Structures are given as C-alpha cells and as structure tokens.
Homo-oligomer: A and B are copies of this chain.
Amino acid sequence: MLEKKNIDETLSDYKDVKIATICSHSSLQIFRGARMEGIKTVGIVLKDRRKLYESFPLGKPDEFIEVDSYSDIPEDELIAKNAVIIPHGSFVEYVGKKFDDLRVPIYGNRRSIGFERSRTKMFDWIRKAGVKIPRVLEPEQIDGPALVKFPGAKGGRGYKIVNSQKEFDEKIGGRECIIQEFIIGVRAYPHYFFSPISKVGYKTKHGTLEMLGVDKRVESSADEIARAVSLGMKPPLSFTVIGNEPMVLRESLLYDYMNIGEKISDTSFDLFGGVIGPFCVETIINEDLEIYAFEISARIVAGTNVYSLHSPYSTYYYDEPMTNGRRIARELKNAKKLKKLNEIIY
C-alpha cells in the first residue's frame, strides 16, 4: 500500500481541491453535492457513458476524462488537476487491488477498502466491534439454507443458496467463498458519516457520527419472488441489486443503530486507523428486534441516492438540503479551511 506520507506530499502541492470519481454508482449525487458547495468536479467516464452524464446539467461533472476502461485510472492527469478521488462502490470494484497504490489522494482512509474487500477481515471487524453477525459456516456445518458469497461487492450478483454440504460441494466446489447463515428478518441499510473535525452529531472516541439516512436495497428476484412462489413455481432466490428504496427505522431502534455505528467506527480505528467519511452497516432485523450486521461498506453506498436534497434524518442535523454527496464536499471544504485536509485524505 502506498504510504500516507506520499499522499501528504502530493496533497501539499495542490493549489486547489477538485472532486473526482468514476461516472457510476453515486457519482451524480457526488457531483451535485460538490456543485452545491462550490467545488469543481472531474468525471472519469467511458466514451459511451459520457452522453448520459452530460444530459444532467446539475449532476454532471465540470469536466470529463474519457477512459477505455475503468481499471485504468488516469493518475497523472488527476493529480495535475488537483483532484481528490471519492471512492464509491463501483470505483472500488472496477479498480480492484490497484486501489491501494493509487498515487492520487483519496478522500477517506484507503486502508478501509481492504477491510471491505476481504470478507474475512470484514467479519473480524464486525465481531471485534461486538455487533451480532450471522454465523459463518464451514461446509460441514450447513444444516439449512445458507448464503454463499464470492469475493467483491458485485451488487449481490451471483450469491447462491445451498441447503447442505452435498449441495455446496456440487454447486460451489472449491471456489473462494464465504458461507453465511440465512437469517429471517427485514434488511435495513443505515448511512453513517464519520468526521474527525465536525462538532455536529454523535460524539465518539475519535470524532462525530451522523446518521444521514436509511434505505432498503431492491433485489431481483428476491423482492418479488413471492409472486412466482404463489403460482407454484420454484424460482431460485437471487439477490442482484437493481435499486434502492427509502425507509425510516422505529425511533427506538435509532439507539441501537447509533450504538452499532459507534462500535464499528471505534473498532475501525483500532484495526486500521478508522473509516473516515461515509460508511454503511448492512443489517437484518428479526422479529425479536435483534439486529445482525452481515456486511460493511467502508465508503459511500448507493442507497444514499434515494434521498433528493433531504432525508428524514438529515433534517435533524441540517437546516438546508444535505445529501451524502454534499456532506462529503462540505467536509473537504471545512477541512481545507482548517488546514486539516491530510486528516481526511489518504
């Protein structure tokens, strides 16, 4: 992994701060938010995607860099433009392991992404935080429906369900994967924002935590599988994310969720210097109101896209429109003013 001091050096040469990211995932929100804060933006874009992004007068980046593949990040050009990368889910996915060594300054702590990429590290993080997690199973422990997940966050695509070791051996074989107990409940995806410099929000050991929204992923076929089942069909249960929808939590659950956010945040500092900025704890809540964390996204999640300008929670913090995209831009602006950019960039 590129060392922090290298990024600090690059950053010290910056005369300006621009926001850059790949045109996908939550980039419209990121560019829109930057525009609201008066920060210029750079969109890394595939040639055939450019027209789409140009069609949004307020969602498009101020300038584009066209690339042939999202795995080739134009590092020199971005540095020359004084760009700071906002890593979102597609960015992390497309760039892969090269992410760790990108010479371009990245908003947040780039170490976070390694803990998102490796499910072993991620689950270890959740456990160390003392948050409930679905049991991780060895093939021989499978004694009912279990979820098999492969490396990478491909929007839930390709997850498999197996019911026994036999089925696991047949369907999965020796592929690298993780087996998780299937929990019956309802999913909720809270969007946290950690700041080491803000005074607003829930105080933690290392800074403050805001909860800017909650969403529910919409998964195909899972979210409409009942229709087929009611017809007597036996369709495979699959979890390809096709979108997101808004929701709010029972207010009494906020206490538990802020607690989970705090523990995940505090533990991230013990493990790797902390998640800086947005993150999400993917949870499922059973009928006894027990909350299980089954994943962490250590950067902005796409579920934040459901909130245009305000979320039901952002209005308890801000008296102005505040999306996750805008919150990131605001943080960069504030850090610059306080000469603390190096505390939120690596």
Please report A residues at the B interface, Cβ cutoff 8 Å. Answer: 24-28, 32, 48-49, 51-52, 55-59, 90, 144-145, 155, 157, 161, 163, 182, 184-188, 200-203, 208-210, 214, 216, 218-255, 258, 285-289, 302, 305-319
Contact = CB atoms under 8 A, between A and B. Distances in A.
A260 to B, nearest CB: 12
Nearest to A311: B308
Contact of A316 (B59, B186, B240): B59
A129 to B, nearest CB: 18
A183 to B, nearest CB: 9
A245 B243 contact: no
20 contacts: A28-B316, A48-B255, A55-B201, A56-B317, A59-B316, A184-B225, A186-B218, A187-B224, A218-B247, A220-B285, A220-B287, A225-B226, A225-B230, A229-B230, A230-B235, A241-B250, A243-B250, A245-B248, A247-B306, A308-B313
Contacts of A319: 58
Contacts of A55: 201-203, 208-210, 258
A247 B216 CA distance: 10
B227 A222 contact: yes
A25 B227 CA distance: 26
Given A48-B255, A182-B228, A306-B312, 8 more contacts: A58-B319, A59-B315, A90-B252, A157-B289, A242-B250, A242-B253, A247-B306, A251-B302
A309 B305 contact: no
Contacts of A145: 228, 231-233
A58 B309 CA distance: 17
A284 to B, nearest CB: 8
Nearest to A249: B243
Contacts of A234: 230
Contact of A305 (B221, B310, B312): B312
A306 B246 contact: yes
B285 A317 contact: no
B308 A314 contact: yes
Closest 7 CB pairs of A and B: A59-B316, A226-B226, A55-B202, A238-B287, A56-B316, A186-B220, A308-B312
